[in-house]
Structure 1
Amino acid sequence: MARPRSFADARAVAAALRPSYPVYCLRPHVLARQARRFLTQFPGEVLYAVKCNPHPLVVDALYRAGIRHFDTASLPEIAQIAETYPEARSYFMHPVKGRAVIKNAYSVYGVRHFVVDHEAELEKLLEVTGGEGLTVMVRLVTPPSEGTLYHLSAKFGAEPREAAALLQRAEGAGCRAGLAFHVGSQCLRPQAYGIALGLCGEILAQAGVAPVAIDVGGGFPARYVEMDSPPLADYFQAIRDGLKALRLSPTVEILCEPGRALVAAGCSLLVQVQLRKERQLYINDGIYGSLSETVDAGIRLPARLIRLEGPAPAEATLDFTLNGPTCDSLDVVPGTFELPADIREGDWIEIDQVGAYSNALATHFNGFFPETFVTVEDASPAFAEASGASAA
């Protein structure tokens, strides 16, 4: 894999490239730091959720930092991991899969961990694979948690009675059986994991099955503007406490599937102002590109101005609306961004905390597609606090 150009920081990127196109400024050292935090503090195996950001540079930085297990939810993701890192292990964590996809994952790529949340999916899995060597993870519904960005049990998950029956059926078919759950993306309440683990205990007692694995899923938060989250240590402690109450055998595998918390701080986005209309700024990326998560999720991203020539930016600030580059009038980033009052055409804006669900969700709509990556060596600063320029 070709290494991208490296720069000291986003300002150096702007000075060298003078880009009129969006540029992702990747910080592999930040990704490595986050990976090490999970690997040293989480009480089990750490599976990176590839869907969060599947870019080869991102995945490679995590692999180099020690991540060897991957939450994969499609055959292309499984292929990406298996064909790049033969020693890594993929886990098929999508509860609904096509038969051909199951066959290829099992027979071609050697996947042995599969998630199910319905009797028909379990029967499909057993029919296609024969069940030999399978670890079947039964995904259960978890109650909504206040402060969670996306509640993920509306689409997936078995109710407790159904989950108990699925465990019994999987074990009866000769498979290794376990439980999985997901408390929701960007979960701001560590106790949500304890509640979900308590539900696991009830289901295991009802099923009379000794699990071989418990997967606590993802949901670990990143830090965004006006969305303070508890420290990761609080989440790990809540999980330890919940596991202790289950009195599991020491041989039980404990898994987690972080995505956002691993990669959000590892990338910023350099965009350019193409036109200013009063307090409206027209930039070269938007909600059909890197900034789609700002729409429904309410995520607000820190930002700062970069100006290479002319007078220094004004100390006074104003709230500006950022308009994306497409001709669609919906292409407007929600909320406003507090930036120097004299911001003008040609200035650049560095938008931070975009490592999660940015390039992964970008479209080709209207001919625009952000795809340029460079690496930068500086830290991932909290621009809102350090420079006074922030999303508001």
Structure 2
Amino acid sequence: MTHMHVAGSIHADATSPAPVWLAKPDDVNALDQRLWSRTVRRGEDGALEVGGRSVPSIVEETGTAVYITDEADFLARAAEWRDAFEGWHVYYAGKSFLCGTVARWLERAGLGLDVCSLGELTVALRAGFDPAKLGLHGNNKSDEELRLALTSGVGRIIVDSAQEITRLERLTEELDVRARVLIRVTTGVEAHTHEYIATAHEDQKFGLSINGGQALVGMVRCFHSPRIDLLGVHSHIGSQIFDTNGFEVAARRTLKLIDQFREATGVVLSELDLGGGFGIAYTSQDSPASPADLAASLIEIVEHECRGFGLPVPQLSIEPGRAICGPAAMAVYTVGTVKSVEIGGGFSRRYVSVDGGMSDNIRPALYAAEYSASVANRASSAEPVLSRVVGLHCEGGDILVRDVWLPDDLRPGDLIAVPAAGAYSRSMASNYNHTPRPPVVSVADGTVSTLIRRETLDDLLALDAGL
């Protein structure tokens, strides 16, 4: 199967306004289970159910827009990654979605946690997460961030620049502590993903270049620094990636760098982090590999490259985020307006406006990411109609689902559920147009729990010094 590029299929073909990959469904009520969390089903009344509760009954408690997380699905995915990569260090990428409860779920599942800001680090620490299992990322870490990481005992700091090494040398001396670090390197791998989320090519902000020699210089400098313990090398090639070809090239180049470091110092570094970025299914076109298949492929790649360089297999790490939390949640909205628009060539498009939009999911507007959707409060016997789910914001690009087949009898008051909304939706949410951000709830065994409460207008206006 040909995988969808993360930027999406924007243009229509010659005979239909629908993208070529989007087939008209025989049954508009059918669910592609690859897109939904594992407890989602349609009940006898046609409404979606998750975690033993109907979505309409959850919405009665929470209102819309709302993110609904399937707790059992989240925990099961975390366990699948942990078990598939047995012997590896598995760090959850907190930037995908993080709150206090999620941090405790991760610790219960035996995963580490990567954070990349003072806020994320503070959430993890206040949630009681073991600091020894935390990693701190960031291309421009402040003294405040580094000081908190050093004083709280964060297990590893992923160094991103020569200036950061200088800051660490100064702070470790000032605080009389040691820093455990990995050097983040750019491998020159062009991952097949959107430009904005490809992170290992040379012309971007992250890491120290292997090709330019900066990485080796930084590694040697850390090795000789009196208060820095150099653990190994970190590489991250991008996000929403469906195969391991890019990881093969990245492994080869990072292990060659480790070999060069051995030649320069006589020391073999003990750790290699291959990053994350594994894709999930947002539409029927996507078919991501299982954690077990990815683990088998990656260990084969690393072992092969280590044999070639005569190196022992290092302690390996990986950083899934989206792959754990993304499929575990849906976003649910209430339909407010439905109208058809003539688009030429004898075609029309149904526009479905809902009570959310780019403020609660910026990804479609940011890089034309594709999503799916389904009616959540009932089944329908009406014909499928090509539709576009749009938000309430004053922007023409405020699109949540660019192309989807929805029933012809869709009406105001219906509920629309968007699967695979657990990653980078709430974590990238904004207050555009002074819109409060939606709550995040979890459901398990019929019980709804609040993870993050709904933001209110009072919350927003409290920041306005003129009011």
TM range (shorter): 0.7 to 0.9
Helix, strand or coil: the match of 1:176?
strand
Shift of 1:75: 1.7
Equivalent residue pairs, number? 366
In the other structure, the counterpart of 1:348 is 415
The 1:378–1:189 alpha-carbon spacing in structure 2 relative to 1, beyond 3 Å, is: farther
**Counterpart AA for 1:246:** C
| 1:292 equivalenced with 2:337 (yes/no) | no
| 1:258 equivalenced with 2:329 (yes/no) | no
In the other structure, the counterpart of 1:77 is 120
Counterpart Cα distance in 1 of 2:199 and 2:71: 29
The 1:329–1:300 alpha-carbon spacing in structure 2 relative to 1, beyond 3 Å, is: closer
The 1:219–1:86 alpha-carbon spacing in structure 2 relative to 1, beyond 3 Å, is: closer
Q: Which runs of 5+ in 1 are unaligned?
A: 380-392
What is the correspondence of 1:93-242 to structure 2 with a 5 Å cutoff? 93-107=137-151, 109-130=152-173, 132-149=177-194, 150-153=197-200, 154-160=204-210, 161-174=213-226, 175-177=228-230, 178-208=232-262, 209-225=267-283, 226-242=285-301
Is the CA contact (8 Å cut-off) linking 2:382 and 2:409 kept in structure 1?
no
The 1:66–1:104 alpha-carbon spacing in structure 2 relative to 1, beyond 3 Å, is: closer
Counterpart Cα distance in 2 of 1:18 and 1:103: 39
Q: Which of 91, 96, 100 does residue 135 from structure 2 map onto?
A: 91
Is the CA contact (8 Å cut-off) linking 2:190 and 2:246 kept in structure 1?
yes
Of 278-287 and 206-215, more deviation after overlay is shown by 206-215
Deviations 1:350-377 (A, max 9, x none): 1111000011111112232333233335
Helix, strand or coil: the match of 2:400?
coil
Is the CA contact (8 Å cut-off) linking 1:25 and 1:267 kept in structure 2?
yes
Q: Which of 263, 267, 284 does residue 329 from structure 2 map onto?
A: 267
Shift of 1:249: 4.2
Shift of 1:329: 3.4
Shift of 1:59: 3.1
Counterpart Cα distance in 1 of 2:88 and 2:138: 21
**Counterpart AA for 1:254:** L
Deviations 1:316-355 (A, max 9, x none): 1111122212233332336222100110111111111100
In the other structure, the counterpart of 2:390 is 323
Of 185-194 and 256-265, more deviation after overlay is shown by 185-194
The 1:205–1:144 alpha-carbon spacing in structure 2 relative to 1, beyond 3 Å, is: closer
Counterpart Cα distance in 1 of 2:94 and 2:431: 21
Shift of 1:138: 0.9
Deviations 1:66-89 (A, max 9, x none): 32x110111221121122124352
Deviations 1:8-58 (A, max 9, x none): 1324324x4483x21211101001111011111114111111111013333
Q: TM-score, normalised by structure 1?
A: 0.86
Counterpart Cα distance in 1 of 2:286 and 2:377: 28
Counterpart Cα distance in 2 of 1:112 and 1:87: 9
Of 177-186 and 334-343, more deviation after overlay is shown by 334-343
Of 33-42 and 297-306, more deviation after overlay is shown by 297-306
**Counterpart AA for 1:186:** Q
Superposed CA RMSD in Å reads: 2.4
Shift of 1:143: 2.8
Equivalent pairs: percent with the same residue?
A: 23
Is the CA contact (8 Å cut-off) linking 1:295 and 1:334 kept in structure 2?
no
- Say which one has the larger Rg: 2
